[in-house]
Amino acid sequence: MPLRLPNRCGPDCIAGFRAAAVQRYRDACRLADGERRTGAVYLWGYSIEMLLKAAFFRAFGYDDHRPITTADLRAAIQLAPSVGYTWPAGGNLHHLPAWGQLLVRVRSHLPSAAYSTRQFPGRILTRTVQAYQVWREMLRYHENRAYEHEVRTVRASAEWFFTHAAQL
């Protein structure tokens, strides 16, 4: 008997996050084409989250296939104060602006990891806020329909992160 889907999923890792981010991005585009707006927003948000996490652990020296555990994610939150950021109370691991802040700050803190332009990290910070003004992981529990401008906002942010994934 073939393994069931959850059992076929390997541990989270940078390569897995990036590959899944592409798939969820494409899934979201199909949903948006079919006017399934909230579903599209929901998946685009996750694709941004995965790209941010992949970039953070890459900056931190993880190789593409090193498992990223929940303990690693929690450790990242604990690291935040040492780079001048306090993770929002509650420790929400889906907080896009917090991942953006952590990524930018860690790269500013690590020698040889700094961004080559000062405008780029600013854009990471603002793009995560723009997406998070619309996206939350709890959207899946609600029947509300996203407005067109909300769909455009999150899609534009997701596209921006994909366009710049290599520089994150």
Partner 1 sequence: MPVVKDRFTPPNVSRFSALRERLVSEWRQPGAFGQPLIREETFDRTGLIGLTVVWDEWEPRDDLERGTIITNAYSEVFGSDQKDRIAFAVGFTEPEAVESGVLPFEVMPLVRKSDPPEWFAGCRQAMLDLGASELWKKGYPRLRLPTLELAEQYVRELSARVPGSDDVWSISQAATAE
Can you tell me the distance from the alpha carbon of 100 to that of 147, in angstroms, rounded to the nearest whole number? 25
Q: Would you say 59 or 125 has its CB closer to partner 1?
A: 125
Binders of partner 1 among 130-149, rule CB under 8 A?
132-133
- Taking CB under 8 A as the criterion, the residue among 7, 111, 144, 163 binding partner 1 is 111
Cβ 76 vs Cβ 85: under 8 Å: no
> 157 φ, ψ to 5°?
-65, -45
Rounded to a whole number of angstroms, the minimum distance from the CB of residue 82 to partner 1 is 10
> 92 φ, ψ to 5°?
-65, 115
Q: Among candidates 144, 107, 112, which has minimal Cα distance to 122?
A: 107
- Taking CB under 8 A as the criterion, the residue among 22, 59, 83, 139 binding partner 1 is 83
Cβ 129 vs Cβ 157: under 8 Å: no
Does position 20 interact with partner 1 (CB under 8 A)? The reply is: no
Does position 97 interact with partner 1 (CB under 8 A)? The reply is: yes
Name the residues that contact partner 1, by CB under 8 A: 83-90, 92, 95, 97-98, 100-101, 104-105, 107-111, 114-115, 118-119, 121-123, 125-129, 132-133
